Amino acid sequence: MNYSNLKISIEQAQEILFELFNIKGITSELPGEVDFNFRIKVENEEGYILKISRPDEDSNYLDFQQNLLQYVENNGQHLIAPKVIKDKKGNSISEITDSSGNKRNVRLLSWVSGRVWSSVNPQLDGLRFSLGEECGKLTQALQGFKHQEASREFVWDVAQSLWTKEHTHLFTADDKETVVFFQELFESNFQEYSKLRKSVVHNDANDNNVIVSSALINPKVKAAIDYGDAIHTQIINDVAIATAYAIMNHNDALEAALPIVSGYHSTFKLQEEELTYLYSAIAMRLVISVTKSAINKIKEPDNEYLLISEKPAWEVLKKWQEISPDFAEYSFRQACGYVAHPNEEKFNNWAIKNSFKLSELFPTVQKNEVHNLDLSVSSKLLAFNTDFNDGDFFQFKIDQLQKKNTTKLIAGGYLEPRSVYTSSNYDKIGNNGCESRSIHLGIDFWLSAQTPVHALLDGEVVTAVNDADDKAYGGLIILKHQVEDLEFFTLYGHLSVASVSGKQIGDTIKKGDCLGYLGNATENGNWVPHLHFQVLLSRLGLKNDFPGVAYHNQINIWKSICPDPNLLFKNEILHNNKTVPNNDLIAYRKQHLGKSLSLQYKVPIKMVRGAGQYLIDQYGRKYLDTVNNVSHVGHEHPAVVKAGQEQMALLNTNSRYLHENINGLAKELIETLPPELNVLHFVNSGSEANELAIRMVKATTGERDIIASEVGYHGNANMCIDISSYKFDGKGGQGAPEHTHIFPLPDAFRGKYRGENAGEHYANEVQNQIDVVQAKGRGVGAFIIEPIISCGGQIELPEGFLAQSYEAIRAAGGLCISDEVQTGCGRMGKTFWGFQLHNVIPDIVTIGKPLGNGHPLAAVACTQEVADKFANGMEYFNTFGGNPVSCAIGTQVLQTVKREELQKNALEVGEYLKTALKELTKEFPITGDVRGQGLFLGIELVDANMNPLAEQTDYLANRMKDHGILMSTDGPDYNVLKIKPPIVFTKENAKEVLFYLRKIFAEDFMKTY
Ligand SMILES: Cc1ncc(COP(=O)(O)O)c(C=O)c1O
């Protein structure tokens, strides 16, 4: 049929609309596969969609469509769906004759406003849950609907999907293998699948047929539109289709699927047997899709769109093939609130009635009492992750423990989150950044090599392999047990090679038989000898291997597949779980800790371990830390920890005794400072350092007036707060005290003076404050500023500002203090101290955070003149300042910076990151400014009119946290993202940050300004 003869113009559509429906509106054309569709906008209403069919359209099919929509309208409580609008005569389908004399059917439906699913970014769990919810509601509303057209032949019906078998020749080798794999799986279960309950379902909740609310934070699905594919089929197919599209473009397709399934189940209860076939139904919908594309490609070889549109379907198919169908089923069951493994209860009931002694497993050991060994992330047995890989040390610790507990078996570890699995084999990039397998699924028994292991039950060998080379289990045996009508497995890992070599698959093992012997370290991947004992209700189709550790987000599924082995032994001690839930910690904090203590992030994190540039939470999740400039040389740097531990074991006193450590630290520091600054006082915090500095000022100049920057922060003590505009001009503050004089934040990007010469203008503002002091008949005590103003939003001081200000202050008789609490100790990259970037020499330098790498240690460096004047006879005593432990730590921090060339690293990685971030500003104009030095950077988010974008900055930091990257925000307008990681931060780390920044910058909320 000639298309141009069929085409309906906008004007014609408008006329038809008015004639039939008496409606006037603004009309635009919409794409449509079959019908000619027009969007009708009417003021103050949602509007309509006008659908004009082709002359050859099957009127039976249109009747089906209209009846179905009306049925949904009558039955679907709280359901948003297009409504049928009847024409003036009361018909739901009208008829017109077009200009060529053809009869054409016309329908008018109400418009559902919102965004189409495919345009929504990000598509998070809550959104996918709501997709399931709405689809479930729709299926509920369609229950009982009948129409003869609903049972038509239809290529997009999953139940009819085996037609695709005729077309597998269209695929190349790998792709064909994938398609055939799913076809065969689907076909092999077809009989049972066919019996699943059926009804008419929407059958096409694809990413262009789903309408999402306009909210940019936590948007929800409003409705599924386009009922053209509705059909009478197995209900599970409808779940499968919604899922198949909504899991595209996610690294972990199965994880992405679960909220949809659980949302569906929340509004339309899915049956256990339906979930068995969901995995293959999802796959078959995608098989239909790629087969249709392959056929269309032959018809339209030049159509590039076909290639692009099939890509995500292929990606999901390939990922789906990697997933065990059984594991998928258990995951779906868990998402619907069923026990994940169907046999879990049966196993538990059997285990209640059958008890075993630990001495049956190890008859030669003959111990039934247990000492629970904590190897969780927060285990104190081995301080550093690297200790776990130090076999001798680990063995020594185990031996010590065994000596103290001679009558007990050392054991434990079921569902324990561990951070010891450091190999990248244990990591994957999930939907929210890097995930590590950390949850231990068995119980470990720490016994000596060659300890015999005996069978607890009759069984059959189903796995007997040696994978010592893979540094995993070593010798591995899995036995299958049949008890009553229950089948389950027991797994024995880390056996000796010899234990395995005699075993054949199918060998029968009798209760009490010796199964094998614990392997030694060389045989079991360099682990200290132990038996990993695990119970499995399913082998998930795996033959020669089975995971012993799982990802935390799958813990509920795994604990059902691998029940607690202690259910067999019922040992009280092994049962112990001491973890305090985070909510309890929060509740206690709220009640008993200072009310003005804040918690970071909307969902607070409990960190239990630090390692280099990472922090690890209680579940073993690793966070890349770009916030902690305190852990300067890396969290829990082994050399620093060791220095502290060793000195703490030896002596800790105050500085009134002679000790080399205090001199040692002084020497290390003096080496880094200009010769003028050669006297040190040691204190315990940055606040104390600034407090002391101000005392020195008063003693030296006899004046107490201090000039400081707007939004500056210098500590929490009385005097510090008095000179911190960040505090006294902020929430709860009462403005500047009489002796504090604030000049405008020297921000050349968005401050009072911008661009070139800003430095001079701001220095003049400092002069103005000097004048104010002098006008009151007083003299200037000091000028205090950070070289990069941190709380002010990583403000780099404009060129010339510091030198000119120092000159003015000195001319007025004041002292100059450089607050290096954040910026010092090599972080700047180009220089060791921040003031050195400006070619000035302060009279006093205050040093804090990085110096102790987390230990409370700070210092004040000053000139001989200041020191002499301060020593006016009054003793300076500080109980903790300069103690041998703190000094040992501080010395090691400075030596580590030198030894590991970390200042150079800060320069190189910082420059790399800053350059790349500047590139990012071209792509995302929201990033108004990128600034800073070394690994002390800031990104300021503004709109086109330079207005600050605090909400977007906060959103960004929280979304980065979702992806395992910790970032902080600051600045007077809370619109600066700060980057100040431990300076062991690598280029790879920087790349990771950039990757996720780019991802989040592209999200919808970041574009709302
Ligand atoms: C620039 C500056 N000075 C001083 C301090 C106070 O240091 P502390 O918290 O160790 O007392 C801080 C703390 O954040 C700071 O950022």
pTM: 0.94
Quickly count: other Cβ atoms within 10 Å of residue 999's Cβ: 15
Rounded to the nearest whole angstrom, what is the distance from the C-alpha of residue 687 to the centroid of ligand 1?
6
Say if residue 421's pLDDT is above 90.
Answer: no
Which of 4-8, 613-617, 948-952 is least confident?
Answer: 4-8
For the chain, give the percent of residues with pLDDT over 70.
Answer: 98
Average pLDDT, the chain: 94
Nearest Cα neighbor of 574 from 681, 734, 415 is: 415
Structure tokens at 658: 């002679």
- Pick the residue whose CA is nearest to atom 3 on ligand 1: 714
SS (H, E, C) 664-677: HHHHHHHHHCCCCE
The pLDDT value recorded for residue 521 is 85
Dist CA 244 CA 625 (whole Å): 35
**What's the whole-number mean pLDDT along residues 103-120?**
95
The pLDDT value recorded for residue 527 is 82
Rounded to the nearest whole angstrom, what is the distance from the C-alpha of residue 848 to the centroid of ligand 1?
7
Rounded to the nearest whole angstrom, what is the distance from the C-alpha of residue 698 to the centroid of ligand 1?
21
The pLDDT value recorded for residue 384 is 79
Top mean pLDDT of 55-59, 213-217, 345-349 is at 345-349
Which atom of ligand 1 sits closest to the CA of residue 712? 1
- Pick the residue whose CA is nearest to atom 13 on ligand 1: 715
Rounded to the nearest whole angstrom, what is the distance from the C-alpha of residue 715 to the centroid of ligand 1?
5
- Which tops the pLDDT comparison, 607 or 470? 607
The pLDDT value recorded for residue 204 is 96
Which residues does a 6 A CB cutoff place in the pocket of ligand 1? 685-687, 690, 713-716, 786, 790, 819, 821-822, 848
Rounded to the nearest whole angstrom, what is the distance from the C-alpha of residue 860 to the centroid of ligand 1?
13
Nearest Cα neighbor of 575 from 585, 586, 564 is: 564
Rounded to the nearest whole angstrom, what is the distance from the C-alpha of residue 788 to the centroid of ligand 1?
13
Strands annotated E in 526-584 = 531-536, 549-551
Counting ligand 1 atoms within 8 A of each CB, the residue from 822, 857, 968 with the most, and so the one to mutate, is: 822
**Do residues 933 and 796 make contact, with C-beta atoms less than 8 angstroms apart?**
yes
- Pick the residue whose CA is nearest to atom 2 on ligand 1: 714
Dist CA 855 CA 683 (whole Å): 12
Say if residue 148's pLDDT is above 70.
Answer: yes
Q: What is the pLDDT of residues 305-335, one digit of tens each?
A: 777 779 999 999 999 999 999 999 999 999 9
Which atom of ligand 1 sits closest to the CA of residue 688? 11
Nearest Cα neighbor of 419 from 384, 451, 458, 391 is: 384
Which atom of ligand 1 sits closest to the CA of residue 849? 10
Rounded to the nearest whole angstrom, what is the distance from the C-alpha of residue 765 to the centroid of ligand 1?
25
Band (pLDDT 50/70/90 cuts) for residue 33 is confident
Band (pLDDT 50/70/90 cuts) for residue 718 is very high
Dist CA 67 CA 85 (whole Å): 12
SS (H, E, C) 862-931: EEHHHHHHHCCCCCCCCCCCCCHHHHHHHHHHHHHHHHCCHHHHHHHHHHHHHHHHHHHHHHCCCEEEEE
Rounded to the nearest whole angstrom, what is the distance from the C-alpha of residue 847 to the centroid of ligand 1?
9
Burial tier of 872 (Cβ tally within 10 Å: 0-12, 13-18, 19+):
exposed
Structure tokens at 42: 């009417």
Say if residue 1's pLDDT is above 70.
Answer: no
> Which strand (E) or helix (H) includes residue 780?
strand 780-785
The pLDDT value recorded for residue 469 is 58
**What's the whole-number mean pLDDT along residues 766-776?**
98
Q: What is the pLDDT of residues 740-760, one digit of tens each?
A: 999 999 999 999 999 889 999
Q: What contacts 510, CB < 8 A, 6 or more positions away?
A: 455, 458
Dist CA 679 CA 999 (whole Å): 49
- Pick the residue whose CA is nearest to atom 7 on ligand 1: 686
- Pick the residue whose CA is nearest to atom 14 on ligand 1: 715
Residue type (1 letter), 367: K
Q: What contacts 717, CB < 8 A, 6 or more positions away?
A: 687, 688, 690, 691
- DSSP code string of 1-42: --HHHH---HHHHHHHHHHHH----EEEEE--SSSEEEEEE-
Q: How far is CA 399 from the centre of its chain?
A: 39
Nearest Cα neighbor of 820 from 936, 735, 944 is: 936
The pLDDT value recorded for residue 303 is 77
**Do residues 49 and 111 make contact, with C-beta atoms less than 8 angstroms apart?**
yes
- Pick the residue whose CA is nearest to atom 16 on ligand 1: 822
Rounded to the nearest whole angstrom, what is the distance from the C-alpha of residue 981 to the centroid of ligand 1?
16
For the chain, give the percent of residues with pLDDT over 90.
Answer: 87
Q: What is the pLDDT of residues 809-868, one digit of tens each?
A: 999 999 999 999 999 999 999 999 999 999 999 999 999 999 999 999 999 999 999 999
Burial tier of 478 (Cβ tally within 10 Å: 0-12, 13-18, 19+):
buried
Say if residue 7's pLDDT is above 90.
Answer: no
DSSP 384: S
**What's the whole-number mean pLDDT along residues 99-122?**
94
Nearest Cα neighbor of 792 from 847, 752, 763 is: 752
Which atom of ligand 1 sits closest to the CA of residue 686? 7
Backbone angles phi, psi at 117, to 5 degrees: -50, -45
The pLDDT value recorded for residue 879 is 95
